[in-house]
Structure 1
């Protein structure tokens, strides 16, 4: 009798736990209202003097790509249900991980993007925020040798942060 009660309790626990896990499964985590159909993403110019000339274009395209690949929203030139505008406000490299001989083992590249997000369907979701991410590289390498790779990685992180805050209620 006790054995049957223990098995029943375990079975109920497993069933409840399994149901809760599958009920909240989402591939992107996006929680976009069904009324939202379009997104517009303005060009993000670089206002940072040290940023590579292509930084604004690469960032803007990365932001468009995440919305096209992870949502069913239609990209429009302007006046989307969701609107993004902003600029790259900072791009810098600085030594980190100082060694005993007072030289840096690593250099850190940091990029900051200011974003204004407007949700024309639900204005309570609107925000203006700055997002900042960095990547480190070994000082034995030159920035010009690794900058494309670093910029791509930083862009991916920034875009994911912006996507999360705007459509996953992060």
Structure 2
């Protein structure tokens, strides 16, 4: 790949990240997708962790991301112009910080997924990552829970990562 193309991609990613930091969230619109993509099928998350609730929550988060940010694209359950597939590769929930009594104060949830967004019309990959991970912490001292706080924060970060990384490809 020529140096100019790498520089352009890095510049675009840096601008996208900077804009995201300024706004507090990332977004994309149907216009940033190839114009021929009018429908997307978001497949069930393949789960290698045996946690179907988490896999379903991840899928719901991606569906929400598309609905909020790509209103011109219809989500369908049958044949589509593009397929969005994810695999839940791993999940961990480990203590992060302890207080002076050696009690756990915060835990860190880590979710690792693979993502593939495939253009069925042009028969090419729009975006793919074999290992994308995000973390979310939760504070048990503040009555936060693993599923409502730690997982939710990690899923939100996954959504941001997917958008940020995919923007460089679209």
The two structures share one fold, judged by TM-score above 0.5: yes
Contact 1:111–1:133 (8 Å) recurs in 2: yes
CA apart distance, 1:66: 1.1
Q: How far apart in 2 are the matches of 1:91 and 1:62?
A: 16
Q: What are the equivalent positions in structure 2 for 1:68-147 lying under 5 Å apart? A: 68-71=67-70, 72-97=72-97, 104-121=104-121, 123=124, 125-140=126-141, 145-147=145-147
Find the counterpart in structure 1 of residue 12 from structure 2: none
Q: What are the equivalent positions in structure 2 for 1:1-170 lying under 5 Å apart? A: 28-30=27-29, 31-49=32-50, 51=51, 53-71=52-70, 72-97=72-97, 104-121=104-121, 123=124, 125-140=126-141, 145-166=145-166, 168-169=167-168
SS of the aligned residue for 1:125 comes to strand
RMSD value, Cα: 2.7
Q: Could you give the per-residue CA deviations for residues 59-97 of structure 1, whole angstroms, max 9, x where no partner exists?
A: 111111211221110111143222111221111111223
Contact 1:87–1:115 (8 Å) recurs in 2: yes
SS of the aligned residue for 2:47 comes to coil
SS of the aligned residue for 1:162 comes to helix
Q: Between Structure 1 and Structure 2, how many residues are aligned?
A: 140
SS of the aligned residue for 1:79 comes to coil
Runs of 4+ in 1 over 6 A off after TM superposition: none
Q: TM-score by structure 2 length? A: 0.67
Segments of structure 1 that go 5 or more residues without pairing to the other structure are: 1-26
Q: TM-score by structure 1 length? A: 0.67
Q: Could you give the per-residue CA deviations for residues 7-29 of structure 1, whole angstroms, max 9, x where no partner exists?
A: xxxxxxxxxxxxxxxxxxxx934
Segments of structure 2 that go 5 or more residues without pairing to the other structure are: 1-25
